[in-house]
Structure 1
Amino acid sequence: MNTPLLPGAALGVMGGGQLGRMFVHAAQTMGYRTVVLEPDATSPAGLVAHQHVAAAYTDAAGLAELAASCDAVTTEFENVPADSLRTLAERVPVAPAAAAVEICQDRAAEKRHFQRSGVPCAPFATIETEADLAAAAGLLPGILKTARLGYDGKGQASVATADELAAAWQRLGRATCVLEKRLPLALELSVIVARGRDGALVHLPVQQNLHRDGILAVTQVPAPGVSPGLAAQAIDCAGRLAASMDYVGVLCVEFFVLADGSLVANEMAPRPHNSGHYSLDSCDVSQFELQLRTLAGLPLAAPRLHSAAVMLNLLGDLWFPGETSEPRTPDWAGVLALPGVALHLYGKTDARRGRKMGHLTVTAADAAGARATALRVCERLGLPAF
Structure 2
Amino acid sequence: MSALSPPLPLRPGETLGILGGGQLGRMLALAAGRLGFDVAVLERDADSPAGRVAAHVIVGAYDDPEALKALAARARVVTYEFENVPAQAVQTLQQLGVEVAPGPEALAVAQDRITEKQFLNAAGAPTVAFRGADTPDEAVAAAEAMGAPVLMKTRREGYDGKGQRWIEHARDAAEVFRALGGRPVILEAPADFTRELSIIAARGRDGATAIYPLAENHHEGGILRRTLAPAIVSTALAEQAERIAVRVLEGLGYVGVIGIELFELADGRLLVNEIAPRVHNSGHWTQDGCSVDQFEQQVRAVCGWPLGPTMPHARIEMLNLLGDEVDQWARLAHDPDSRLHLYGKRVAQSGRKMGHVNKLRPL
- Please give the range of the TM-score, normalised by the shorter of the 2 chains: over 0.9
Which one of 263, 278, 291 corresponds to residue 285 of structure 2? 278
SS in 1 for 2:325: helix
Which one of 141, 149, 157 corresponds to residue 135 of structure 1? 141
Counterpart residue type for residue 138 of structure 2: D
CA RMSD, Structure 1 to Structure 2 (Å): 1.3
| Structure 1 residue 126 displacement after superposition | 0.6
Correspondence 1:223-234 to 2 at 5 A: 223-224=231-232, 226-234=233-241
| Structure 1 residue 170 displacement after superposition | 1.2
Aligned position for 2:76 = 71
SS in 1 for 2:128: coil
Aligned position for 2:181 = 173
Correspondence 1:226-375 to 2 at 5 A: 226-318=233-325, 329-330=327-328, 332-366=329-363
| Structure 1 residue 317 displacement after superposition | 4.6
Q: Distance in 2 between matches of 1:345 and 1:63?
A: 29
Q: Deviations over 1:262-314 (max 9, x none)?
A: 21000010100000011111100010111101111001123220111110001
Aligned position for 2:29 = 24
- List runs of 5+ in structure 2 lacking aligned partners: 1-5
SS in 1 for 2:177: helix
Q: Deviations over 1:80-134 (max 9, x none)?
A: 1011011111221110111211110111110111111111000000111234224
Is the CA contact (8 Å cut-off) linking 2:198 and 2:260 kept in structure 1?
yes
Aligned position for 1:151 = 159
| Structure 1 residue 38 displacement after superposition | 0.1
| Structure 1 residue 2 displacement after superposition | 4.6
Counterpart residue type for residue 243 of structure 1: E
1:160 pairs with 2:168: yes
| Structure 1 residue 242 displacement after superposition | 1.1
Q: Distance in 1 between matches of 2:48 and 2:7?
A: 33
Greater alpha carbon shift after TM alignment, 300-309 vs 149-158? 300-309
Is the CA contact (8 Å cut-off) linking 1:83 and 1:98 kept in structure 2?
no
Is the CA contact (8 Å cut-off) linking 1:82 and 1:99 kept in structure 2?
no
Correspondence 1:207-222 to 2 at 5 A: 207-222=215-230
Q: Distance in 2 between matches of 1:48 and 1:302?
A: 26
Counterpart residue type for residue 127 of structure 2: C
Q: Distance in 1 between matches of 2:195 and 2:278?
A: 23
Greater alpha carbon shift after TM alignment, 308-317 vs 256-265? 256-265
TM-score (norm 1): 0.89
State the number of aligned residues: 355
- List runs of 5+ in structure 1 lacking aligned partners: 320-328, 367-386
SS in 1 for 2:156: coil
Q: Distance in 1 between matches of 2:193 and 2:207?
A: 33
